[in-house]
Amino acid sequence: MKHIFLVHTPITYLVSISVIKELKLRKEDAFIIFHEFNDEAILENDMYTSARIEGVNERKFFRKLYEFFRYFDIACHIDKLIDTVVDTEKFIAYVPVFTHIHKLLITHPNCISFNFIEEGLAHYFKEDTLETLNPLYRKFSWRSSIFKNPKRVLNEMYLVLRGYNFKLSGLPFSYCINFEAN
């Protein structure tokens, strides 16, 4: 069985390596996906199979534009990346929180379970509020109107076009919420 780790910070990387060692996973069964974290020293010296989600840290304008259109359907891109690693095998995902990318990983058809590997933001909140359910979008209005806020509605449509549907977006950001996955 494969184990896929989504790494976005140096801390998440260190925790992932610790989990791999604690579970005594074989190197060929552990796969690390780097997202919004591009430390070339780690990538070059990493003894585990890893990949970086393309186009995240590109600096050249035309390269960034090319990567944007090449991977516009991010859900499809993530699925292809995972499929090359797991083929038809089932896997367990390890994530720090649920951003859109993390949600795509855990909802892949071959993902049989997932684990949180970081203490995350939940420990810094005194209590759950509507704003803490999804801190990424806490400043956005709960209601959308094309007439009152066309920019926000266009952004929502853009996210759907990229593969983030409403069911996927409905997953909470953090593990502080009690829920069961069916």
pLDDT digits (tens, 9 = 90+) for 101-110: 888 899 999 9
Whether residue 129 is contained in a domain is answered as no
36 by DSSP, 3-state: which? coil
Whether residue 33 is contained in a domain is answered as yes
Q: Give the integer Cα–Cα distance in Å for 103 and 128.
A: 20
Q: Whole-prediction pTM value?
A: 0.68
Whether residue 172 is contained in a domain is answered as no
CB 50 within 8 A of CB 34: yes
- Residue % of the chain over a pLDDT of 90: 20
- Number of structural domains found in the chain: 1
- pLDDT tens digits along 137-150: 666 666 677 787 78
Whether residue 65 is contained in a domain is answered as yes
Structural domain harbouring 62: 2-123
Whether residue 32 is contained in a domain is answered as yes
Q: Which amino acid is at 182?
A: N
Whether residue 77 is contained in a domain is answered as yes
Whether residue 88 is contained in a domain is answered as yes
Q: Binning pLDDT at 50, 70 and 90, where does residue 179 land? A: very low
- Residue 71 CB: number of other CB atoms within 10 A? 18
Q: Binning pLDDT at 50, 70 and 90, where does residue 55 land? A: very low
Whether residue 128 is contained in a domain is answered as no
Average pLDDT, the chain: 77
Q: Which amino acid is at 21?
A: K
Q: Binning pLDDT at 50, 70 and 90, where does residue 30 land? A: very high
Segment 62-86 mean pLDDT = 84
Q: Give the integer Cα–Cα distance in Å for 101 and 23.
A: 24
